[in-house]
Structure 1
Amino acid sequence: MATFIRFTAPLFCFFFLFSLFSHQTMSQPQHMATFCDDRLSDNFTQTSSYKANRETLLSSLRDRSSLGTYSNATIGLSPDTVYGMFLCRGDLTKTSCSDCVKTATLEITKNNNCTSRKTALIFYEECMVRYSNVSFFTLVELDGPYVAKYSLATFPTSLFSSFQQTLSNKVEQLIILIASKSSLSASTPYYVKDISRVNELEGSYTLDTVVQCSPDLDPANCGVCLRLVVKGLSGCCTNARFAQFYLSKCFLKYDTTGLPTSQSPSGSSSINVMKGEHNICPRL
């Protein structure tokens, strides 16, 4: 049975940085958004045991980041226990994963709004890192933070409806496939990439789809998380030719090639980034 943890509306304040296509080198992790617990009751002092435990936890995650794409850790005793994890995109090299996690664990404490917060989550295109005073392991966060990055270039109107069904069907296929890759003994647990040729009467194109879940989820919760992603996409970017959608426990990316060229409002290569706290993207 799927298990959920729900975030209340005031729980997070959002500190967001647009991550557009730029001239930065590929080796530099691309920051997307940082989320911090906004409740004053969940602050800690700079001399507290919680702060020391947080630093130990982040150091441990940095050390483990060269070993694989995922790790979690628990440091300290109650009431100062800190839970943390990182998850790298499954197609990264060990070096790229480690570079991203090291950057994220340092930057998450430099954010002035997160310095004294007991809960924080930072998204990069390549990885995410989070810590909290409450365990989030094995849980799907029904109303947790999300980040969406998508192309402003859109599908031709004639293909729009059929593409939505094609993408939904493809994700369902990959949810079944990803269950076989849930073991931590797999080289890249819970990561599947698929490239398919889609032939329609109105036109043909190639659909490149990637799905990934955090290995602490069971297969049922992985499926729940990915279906939330599809639902989130329907609220922000259903007709985008390219999109990435990040939740705290799963990720979906798709790209299409071979379609007729169309122009977005700001040019066909323009990218938009959105963030929020619910699984349906609000319009900004």
Structure 2
Amino acid sequence: MAIFIRISAFLFYFLLVSLLSHQIMSQPQHMHTFCDKLSENFTQTSQYKSNRDTLLSSLRDRSSLETYYNATVGISPDTIHGMFLCRGDITKTSCSNCVKTATLEITTNNCTNIKDAIVYYEECMVRYSNVSFLSLVESGPWASRYSVASFPDSFFNPFQRTLSDKVEQLIILTASKTSLSSSTPYYVKDRKQVNNFDGSYTLDTMVQCSPDLDPANCSVCLRLAVQGVSSCCNNARIAQFFIPKCFLKYDTSGLPTTQSPSGSFSVHAMKGKHNTGASIIF
């Protein structure tokens, strides 16, 4: 009996540790939450609040089935529009977990009574608004995440040319991957082995657009993301840049890097009506 109890206790402990480890590993990585303080407010007893609850519940339900979904709830003046978009390279379980986490985050963090909000995670984005945003290209709010580690000066110019050429290829390819031709529309990733006189390295690149954009606007959105990366993350070895309808991500390995003395984690927020954003540096 004592042996059985010890074995049972060990199995219980093992299962508990495994469950907790899985939960920790599967937590989506929050980047930034934007609450448009210039938009209208609503009260907790209003019809808009009820419509928002219905909308966010719908987004959570659909996130286990799809990587993208949009919905509109209610009639004017209490209409609310919402959407989620998950990264094309994550599982349905991770997508659902991210959207569920985001729909909780977006109703807190000072967005409780705000009619327009958007939250970015590394794995997904969720937004809602009293103004329709479907089919529109928007330059902000944006969120970026990039590494402190950067390239030595001798690698910078060749790397920039290689990255620019590769991203342009992916933009053209992405615009052709519509919902009729791909299980994950407007999503492309690529791995390239780069060889030059200073050495070789691996470049992983990923781009994705929201399916509510047409091909031309998908290209426009991704080029805005390219401009954003150039502005925020110049010479970074790893970078991600998100705007409301698309994102760009690249990663390199195999090259020597330089790093700032602190190597610390920090967040920088920039404010402006049409250019609100936040950068995470790691």
| TM-score band, normalised by shorter chain | 0.7 to 0.9
Alpha-carbon offset, residue 274 of structure 1: 4.1
Tell me if 1:157 matches 2:153.
Answer: yes
Determine the C-alpha separation between the residues in 2 that align with 1:161 and 1:172: 17
Q: Contact between 2:267 and 2:278, CA under 8 Å: does it hold in 1?
A: no
Tell me if 1:125 matches 2:122.
Answer: yes
Tell me if 1:197 matches 2:193.
Answer: yes
Q: Contact between 1:36 and 1:121, CA under 8 Å: does it hold in 2?
A: yes
> What pairs with 1:106-117 in structure 2 (closer than 5 Å)?
106-111=104-109, 113-117=110-114
Match of 2:90 in 1: 92
Tell me if 1:33 matches 2:25.
Answer: no
* Aligned with 1:217 (options 213, 218, 242): 213
Q: Contact between 2:151 and 2:257, CA under 8 Å: does it hold in 1?
A: no
Determine the C-alpha separation between the residues in 2 that align with 1:145 and 1:95: 27
Deviations 1:47-106 (A, max 9, x none): 111111111000000010011110000000011100000001111111110011011111
| Counterpart secondary structure, 2:145 | strand
Tell me if 1:242 matches 2:238.
Answer: yes
Q: Contact between 2:81 and 2:131, CA under 8 Å: does it hold in 1?
A: yes
Deviations 1:4-49 (A, max 9, x none): xxxxxxxxxxxxxxxxxxxx8321011111101112x600111111
Match of 2:135 in 1: 138
Equivalent AA in structure 2 for residue 30 of structure 1? Q
Using CA pairs under 8 Å that are at least 6 residues apart, name the structure with larger relative contact order, 1 or 2. 1
Equivalent AA in structure 2 for residue 256 of structure 1? T
| Mean Cα deviation higher: 49-58 or 156-165 | 156-165
Q: Contact between 2:189 and 2:204, CA under 8 Å: does it hold in 1?
A: yes
Deviations 1:92-124 (A, max 9, x none): 11111001101111121122x111100000111
Paired positions, count: 257
Bigger proportion of residues as helix: 2
Determine the C-alpha separation between the residues in 2 that align with 1:154 and 1:184: 39
Equivalent AA in structure 1 for residue 199 of structure 2? G
Alpha-carbon offset, residue 185 of structure 1: 6.5
Unaligned runs of 5+ in 2: 1-22
Unaligned runs of 5+ in 1: 1-23
Task: Using structure 2 for the length normalisation, give the TM-score.
Answer: 0.85
Calculate the aligned-residue CA RMSD, in Å.
2.3
What percentage of residue pairs aligned between the two structures are identical? 72
Alpha-carbon offset, residue 261 of structure 1: 4.3
When residues 89 and 264 of structure 1 are mapped into structure 2, their CA distance, relative to the original with a 3 A threshold, is: same
Q: Contact between 1:138 and 1:217, CA under 8 Å: does it hold in 2?
A: yes
| Counterpart secondary structure, 2:134 | coil
Equivalent AA in structure 2 for residue 54 of structure 1? R
Q: Contact between 1:148 and 1:274, CA under 8 Å: does it hold in 2?
A: no
Equivalent AA in structure 2 for residue 139 of structure 1? L
> What pairs with 1:46-85 in structure 2 (closer than 5 Å)?
46-85=44-83
Determine the C-alpha separation between the residues in 2 that align with 1:130 and 1:234: 25
Determine the C-alpha separation between the residues in 2 that align with 1:262 and 1:233: 19
